[in-house]
């Protein structure tokens, strides 16, 4: 092989190995715990181009409409640092929320060109309600049943207002056995007819911005007649009534 050609191949190979771009992420997962009343949870994902050529963002895509992502620069020079900001709009969501942002770059190495960033937010609700449904069987004794409402300790809730959507149920609120706990006693006026009600629960917390909570109460419909009962009814209807016995001769 020609010596000059061999030297050229080696040189090009060396240049190809040296010319690289790579984003190094400080972290790809962030855990957040928003404070009571926060409307957004914001995560910052920091990076650095540890390569020796510029790198470009081709796309930055959030996993849902409730999350947005923003880059500081479209191009990252060698040695340059920056961050992607992911903003999750909390709305009425509670519990553990996991959102992702998929970042695509022009890095020629497939192992580095796509990165998935994860935002996890643990949102403590203002009020936890258990159970969310109380019910009575048709004809059951109309005794009160209890719904427990546990308030967030930072909410400073002193009382609850509970209103039934229909007058067939009454609701009374008392202090619970534990701190920040309320007992909602729900009672039907009558259990001989099927009825359903939404119980609207409004806490007086200054952290509450008009959000309402709800539970439900229901008297179940009467049970349908069983097949054996229906069969007996049909038989009786089909059988002529017995004639009176004739007097003795």
Q: Are residues 27 and 43 in the same domain?
A: yes
Q: Are residues 131 and 172 in the same domain?
A: yes
Beta bridge partners of 161: 202
Clarify whether residues 42 and 111 are in a common domain.
Answer: yes
Per-residue pLDDT tens digits for 68-115: 999 988 999 999 999 999 999 998 888 899 999 999 999 988 888 999
Q: What's the confidence (pLDDT) of residue 242?
A: 44
Give the pLDDT score at 22.
Answer: 86
* Domain's final residue, options 90, 123, 156: 123
Q: What is the DSSP string of 147-215?
A: EEEEE-TTS----EEEEESSTTEEEEEEE-SSTTEEEEEEEES-SSS-EEEEEEEEE--TT-SS--EEE
Closest CA to 211 of 157, 164, 143: 157
pLDDT at 10: 42
pTM above 0.85, yes or no: no
**Do 118 and 155 sit in the same domain of this protein?**
no
The pLDDT assigned to 14 comes to: 42
**Sheet arrangement for strand 169-175:** 127-130, 145-151, 181-188, 169-175
86 lies in which domain range?
Answer: 21-123
Check whether 18 has a pLDDT greater than 90. Answer: no
Residues 208 and 144 in one domain: yes
Residue that finishes a domain, picked among 123, 139, 165: 123
Mean pLDDT score, 170-194: 95
**Tens digit of each residue's pLDDT (9 = 90 or more) over 36-73:** 888 999 999 999 999 999 999 999 999 999 999 999 88
- What pLDDT does residue 246 have? 43
Flag whether 236 is in a domain: no
pLDDT at 3: 55
For residue 230, the model assigns a pLDDT of 53
Domain tally, the chain: 2
Over residues 135-151, the mean pLDDT reads: 96
Same domain, 49 and 135: no
For residues 141 and 212, membership in a common domain is answered with: yes
Do 29 and 111 lie in a common domain? yes
- Same structural domain for residues 28 and 119? yes
């Amino acid at each position: 092989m020609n010596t000059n050609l061999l030297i050229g191949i080696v040189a090009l190979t060396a240049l190809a190995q040296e010319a690289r771009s790579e984003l190094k992420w400080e972290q790809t997962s962030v855990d957040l715990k928003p404070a009571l009343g926060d409307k957004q949870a914001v995560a910052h994902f920091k990076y650095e181009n540890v390569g020796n050529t510029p790198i470009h963002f081709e796309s930055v895509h959030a996993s849902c409409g409730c999350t947005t992502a923003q880059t500081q620069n479209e191009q990252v020079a060698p040695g340059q640092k920056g961050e992607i900001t992911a903003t999750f709009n909390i709305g009425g969501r509670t519990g553990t929320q996991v959102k992702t942002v998929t970042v695509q770059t022009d890095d020629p190495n497939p192992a580095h060109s796509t990165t998935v960033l994860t935002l996890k937010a643990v949102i403590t609700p203002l009020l936890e309600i258990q159970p969310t449904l109380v019910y009575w069987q048709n004809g059951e004794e109309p005794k009160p049943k209890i719904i427990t409402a546990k308030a967030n300790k930072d909410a400073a809730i002193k009382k609850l207002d509970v209103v039934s959507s229909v007058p067939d149920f009454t609701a009374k609120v008392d202090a619970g056995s534990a701190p920040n706990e309320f007992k909602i006693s729900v009672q039907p006026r009558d259990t001989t007819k099927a009825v359903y009600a939404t119980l609207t629960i409004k806490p007086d917390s200054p952290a509450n911005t008009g959000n309402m909570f709800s539970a439900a109460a229901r008297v179940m419909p009467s049970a349908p007649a069983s097949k054996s009962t229906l069969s007996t009814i049909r038989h009786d209807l089909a059988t002529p009534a017995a004639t009176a016995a004739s007097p003795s001769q």
